[in-house]
Structure 1
Amino acid sequence: MSRNTVVLVCLLIMALDITAGVLGIEAEKARNKQTHWSASLAECGFRSVKAYRLGMAAAVFLGLAHVIANLCGGCICFWSKADLEKSSGYKKLAIASLIFSWITLAIGFIMLIMGALANSKSSHYCGISHHLLLQIGGILCFFHGFFSIAYKLSATLAT
């Protein structure tokens, strides 16, 4: 892949992850604007349709960024411990970045979906508090962008 293409793919991944992060944080702000009554772990209040839409959009952008990073990063494989030990530093960095990007994707995506689904209907509710799910999911989008860019660059340098 040419140098310009790698830069454009990295910029696209970062733009998608930053957009997802901002949408997640904005979804939490929209959720907090609704009236809430809380008592320790339980709360009552009104759901926010805007928070639902923003949270779902953030989850879509996070998933799209991950798909693009993995498709453009290529396949970094190792078949045994000996194969991993004799591989280059770039390949080891690519493997570690790939693992961390999957972890941040899983946690961030689940938090965004749970936070969005907690606001899926415009009505009154009482139940378990879902504070900060959307905000933490949005923040994890930024970490996902960092790990995805590290994966893309190190995978490119390893080949």
Structure 2
Amino acid sequence: MVKAWGILVCVLIIALDISAGILGFQAEVKQNKVKHQLRLWVFECRDPNQDAFKLGMAAAALLVAAHVLANFLGGCDGIICSQRENQNKAPPSRQLTILCLIFTWIILAVGLSMLVIGAMSNHKRRATCGFTHHHLLSVGGILCFVHGLFSVAYYVSATAGAPI
């Protein structure tokens, strides 16, 4: 039963991250369909797209949900609260768990900021002029896929040695 629960959690984490990545790509497509009024190198004037905003924010919410699920069910409190001086002497599985946890937080920070910045550039009600925010939503979508891999690796390594 415990094994089935672990598989279900891994599938749920992957499903959330894949959904977030797909929504990020769809938001990028919607954003690229907007009429550009003026484009000069990295400066442009264009109309915002509400669909791109909604898809980008939904992708960000799914990314956060996957991260919260992986961290709470993976038991991040036992890793953070462990003694610091014993971290260098920790077994390789414990070091892998800590490394995956650090990577998931870094990927979350970068991916979430890219998705939110890309979505917020489509939030305005009127045409705006400024620096281009090209490919932020699609790169954020790619980072959602990478986040899924590290989150599952973290969950599996964190729960592998846990007592039943």
Shared fold per TM-score greater than 0.5: yes
Structure 2 residues not aligned, in runs of 5+: none
- Shift, 1:121, TM fit: 2.5
Whole-angstrom CA distance in 2 between matches of 1:10 and 1:38: 44
Map residues 1-159 of structure 1 onto 2, 5 A cutoff: 2-36=2-36, 37-74=38-75, 75-77=78-80, 78-81=82-85, 83-159=86-162
- Shift, 1:90, TM fit: 1.2
Whole-angstrom CA distance in 2 between matches of 1:48 and 1:80: 48
1:1-59 CA-to-partner distances (Å, cap 9, x unmatched) read 81111100000000000000000011000000111231111011111100000000000
TM-score normalised to structure 1 length: 0.95
- Shift, 1:64, TM fit: 0.3
- Specify the SS of the correspondent of 1:54: helix
The structure 1 segments of at least 4 consecutive aligned residues displaced by more than 4 Å after TM superposition are none
- Shift, 1:104, TM fit: 0.2
- Shift, 1:129, TM fit: 0.6
1:83-110 CA-to-partner distances (Å, cap 9, x unmatched) read 1132221111110000000000000000
- Specify the SS of the correspondent of 2:87: helix
How many positions carry a matched residue from both structures?
158
Structure 1 residues not aligned, in runs of 5+: none
Whole-angstrom CA distance in 1 between matches of 2:148 and 2:23: 14
Whole-angstrom CA distance in 2 between matches of 1:85 and 1:158: 18
- Specify the SS of the correspondent of 2:7: helix
Q: Note if contact 1:88-1:158 (Cα within 8 Å) is conserved in structure 2.
A: no
What is the CA RMSD across the aligned residues, in angstroms? Answer: 1.2
* Identity %, equivalent residues: 47
Whole-angstrom CA distance in 2 between matches of 1:49 and 1:76: 41
